């Protein structure tokens, strides 16, 4: 097996004559000018020679429309695109909308022969993450953990299923605004917790080679540049991690345990780490347009989320960073107010109008708001426990998980997914019974501590 790190979370895996590409994002900024590649890929794979593509989840650093469109145009629309089978078929529908005709949804916990001599195994975790195991017949095995915060019984089960892991690739750095975009609340985790999670993969799976990846980005906007001070560098990871690391720089490859790379790959990587250019221009959305978008957002939320859950949503306010206005949201209503009238609001977020407009119009916009980290939050003492619902309710509502009247959770598709993720669900139930669900599962998603 030969594995080439193309860039960030994108690997080119070659085994038994098959070339499988994962999570291609090769150019451009994402999350509304919030992230950029650090570094961009030194060379691109030949799309025409690919046999398949794996997309782990719908975040744009793994699921980048412009790169996918280029791949479709060069390779053709019939290339197999492998995606996890989540509860909802949103990703598959979107890919077919892009013109791909051969979308393969992989059932969780199921290994199958994808190509002669090559098997794939998919396991989803949480609402929107998935991992992939690639095994070549009479060849090596790669576990691509990616961004999946795998732990507990599901991680142990993966180790039982694959007792010999040659390569494990996993994320190791921050990828969300919490806690570093919050001004006045104590964090319940720090970036060292990410190292603990990374090390848990190495400890449980015991790979011959532990490869850090999926963390080669730069916060490139003036609104989130402060986040770069909290990034974990490869040098820091090497010092803090208890695992023996196999370092690949974009462009490097490993085959049969032997790393191949050039000094230019490392120079290219190092130069990108010192880039201090930031985007400072903003598109100012007219306030009348924002009024319409916010009203539509509140109505849509009310139609998608049952009242039982909406009652959990705390009152909150958005203060526009580029206009003298803001919005107070409470009890299914929204009111535009002067920014000065919102200074004492118990939960408030300062955000540019272009970022807020994106968050309230996209089904995945709430998650993008958190990950892009172009906001500043202030939560008054005593409101910390309720503030988490600000993220949970709109995020799950936008992605369709709280639309209970459709009984999606009892349909055949959902039952297949429930069964494939039964160990994860069991761990969640145990956390609920012990009162640790919100802190350990929802907020502290970096925790590597297994369920009791």
Q: What is the dihedral of CA 218, 224, 226, 228, to 10 degrees?
A: -10
Comparing C-alpha atoms, which of 133, 146, 157, 159 is closest to residue 59? 146
340-364 residues labelled b (16+ CB within 10 A) or e (exposed): eebeebbbbbbbbbbbbbbbbeebb
Number of neighbours of residue 31 by Cβ within 10 angstroms: 25
Q: What is the rounded distance in angstroms from the CA atom of residue 309 to the CA atom of residue 197? A: 31
What Å distances lie between residue 452 and 157, 382, 425, 438, CA to CA?
A: 15, 29, 14, 16
Comparing C-alpha atoms, which of 129, 155, 156, 190 is closest to residue 446? 190
Length of the chain: 452
C-alpha dihedral sign at 337, 341, 343, 344: negative
Q: What is the rounded distance in angstroms from the CA atom of residue 437 to the CA atom of residue 440? A: 5
Crossing angle between the packed helical segments 412-420 and 422-433, to the nearest 10 degrees = 70
Q: In sequence order, what E strands does 314-353 have?
A: 316-320, 325-330, 333-338, 347-351
Give yes or no for a contact between 230 and 191, defined as CB atoms under 8 angstroms apart.
Answer: yes
Predicted pLDDT of residue 449: 34
Predicted pLDDT of residue 290: 98
Q: What is the rounded distance in angstroms from the CA atom of residue 141 to the CA atom of residue 328? A: 52
Give yes or no for a contact between 237 and 212, defined as CB atoms under 8 angstroms apart.
Answer: yes
In the chain, which stretches have pLDDT less than 70?
Answer: 435-452
Both tokens of 137, joined, read 């017949």
- How do the residues of the chain divide into helix, strand and coil, expressed in percent and rounded to 5? 35, 25, 40
**Per-chain mean pLDDT for the chain:** 93
Report the chain's C-alpha Rg in angstroms. Answer: 22
List pLDDT tens digits, range 309-352.
999 999 999 999 999 999 999 999 999 999 999 999 999 999 99
Q: What is the rounded distance in angstroms from the CA atom of residue 92 to the CA atom of residue 104? A: 8
Q: How far is CA 295 from the centre of its chain?
A: 28
List pLDDT tens digits, range 163-175.
999 999 999 998 8
DSSP 8-state secondary structure symbol assigned to residue 215: -
DSSP 8-state secondary structure symbol assigned to residue 47: G
Predicted pLDDT of residue 60: 95
Task: Establish whether domains 2-273 and 287-403 are of one fold.
Answer: no
Q: What is the largest CA-CA distance in the chain?
A: 68
Candidates 3.40.50.300, 3.40.50.460, 3.30.9.10, 3.30.1050.10; CATH matching 287-403: 3.30.1050.10
Residue appearing with tokens 């990828």: 175
- Helix (H) and strand (E) counts in the chain: 13, 21
336: three-class secondary structure by DSSP: strand
φ/ψ of 142, rounded to 5, equals -115, 130
Residue ranges of the alpha helices (H) in 85-211?
90-97, 152-161, 191-205
Predicted pLDDT of residue 430: 83
Q: What is the rounded distance in angstroms from the CA atom of residue 37 to the CA atom of residue 91? A: 23
DSSP 8-state secondary structure symbol assigned to residue 182: B
Strands 333-338 and 325-330 turn out to be: antiparallel
Domain boundaries, the chain: 2-273, 287-403
Q: What is the rounded distance in angstroms from the CA atom of residue 151 to the CA atom of residue 400? A: 25
What Å distances lie between residue 363 and 58, 64, 304, 340, 366, CA to CA?
A: 11, 16, 11, 30, 8
Burial of 407 (0-12, 13-18, 19+ CB in 10 A): exposed
What's the CA angle centered on 75, arms 74 and 76, to 5 degrees? Answer: 100
φ/ψ of 31, rounded to 5, equals 55, 45
DSSP 8-state secondary structure symbol assigned to residue 261: -
Q: What is the rounded distance in angstroms from the CA atom of residue 55 to the CA atom of residue 91? A: 9
CATH number of 2-273: 3.60.15.10
């Amino acid at each position: 097996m030969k594995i080439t790190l193309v860039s960030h979370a994108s690997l080119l895996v070659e085994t038994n004559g098959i070339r499988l590409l994962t999570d291609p994002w090769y150019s451009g900024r994402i999350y509304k000018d919030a992230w950029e590649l650090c570094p961009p890929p030194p060379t691109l794979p030949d799309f025409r020679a690919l046999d398949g593509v794996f997309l782990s989840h719908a975040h744009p650093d793994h699921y980048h429309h412009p790169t996918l469109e280029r791949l479709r145009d060069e390779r053709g629309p019939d290339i197999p695109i492998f995606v996890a089978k989540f509860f909802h078929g949103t990703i598959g529908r979107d890919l077919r909308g892009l013109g791909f005709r051969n979308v393969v949804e992989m059932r969780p916990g199921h290994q199958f022969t994808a190509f002669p001599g090559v098997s794939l195994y998919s396991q989803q975790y949480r609402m929107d993450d998935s991992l992939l195991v690639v095994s070549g017949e009479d060849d090596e095995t790669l576990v691509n953990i990616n961004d999946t915060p795998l732990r507990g019984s599901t991680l142990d089960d993966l180790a039982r299923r694959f007792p010999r892991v040659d390569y494990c690739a996993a994320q190791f750095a921050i990828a969300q605004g919490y806690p570093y975009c919050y001004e006045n609340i104590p964090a319940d985790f720090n970036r060292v917790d990410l190292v603990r999670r990374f090390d848990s993969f190495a400890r449980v799976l015991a790979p011959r080679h532990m490869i850090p990846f999926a963390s080669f980005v730069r916060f490139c906007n003036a609104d989130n540049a402060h986040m770069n001070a909290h990034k974990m560098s490869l040098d820091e990871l090497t010092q803090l991690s208890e695992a023996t690391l196999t370092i690949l720089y974009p462009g490097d490859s490993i085959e049969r345990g032997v790393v191949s790379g050039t000094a230019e790959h490392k120079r290219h990587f190092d130069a990108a780490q010192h880039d201090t250019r930031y985007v400072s221009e903003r598109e100012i959305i007219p306030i009348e347009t924002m009024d319409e978008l916010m009203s539509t957002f509140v109505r849509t939320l009310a139609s998608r989320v049952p009242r039982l859950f909406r009652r959990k949503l705390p009152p909150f306010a958005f203060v526009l960073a580029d206009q003298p206005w803001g919005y107070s949201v409470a009890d299914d209503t929204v009111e535009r107010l002067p920014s000065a009238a919102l200074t004492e609001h118990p939960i408030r977020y300062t955000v540019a109008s272009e970022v807020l407009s994106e968050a309230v119009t996209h089904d995945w916009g709430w998650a993008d708001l958190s990950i892009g980290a172009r906001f500043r939050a202030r939560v008054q003492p005593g409101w910390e426990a309720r503030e988490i619902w600000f993220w949970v309710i709109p995020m799950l509502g936008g992605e369709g998980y709280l639309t209970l009247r459709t009984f999606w959770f009892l349909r055949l598709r959902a039952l297949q997914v429930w069964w494939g993720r039964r160990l994860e669900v069991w761990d969640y139930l145990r956390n609920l019974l012990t009162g640790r669900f919100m802190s350990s599962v929802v907020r502290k998603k970096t925790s590597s501590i297994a369920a009791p």
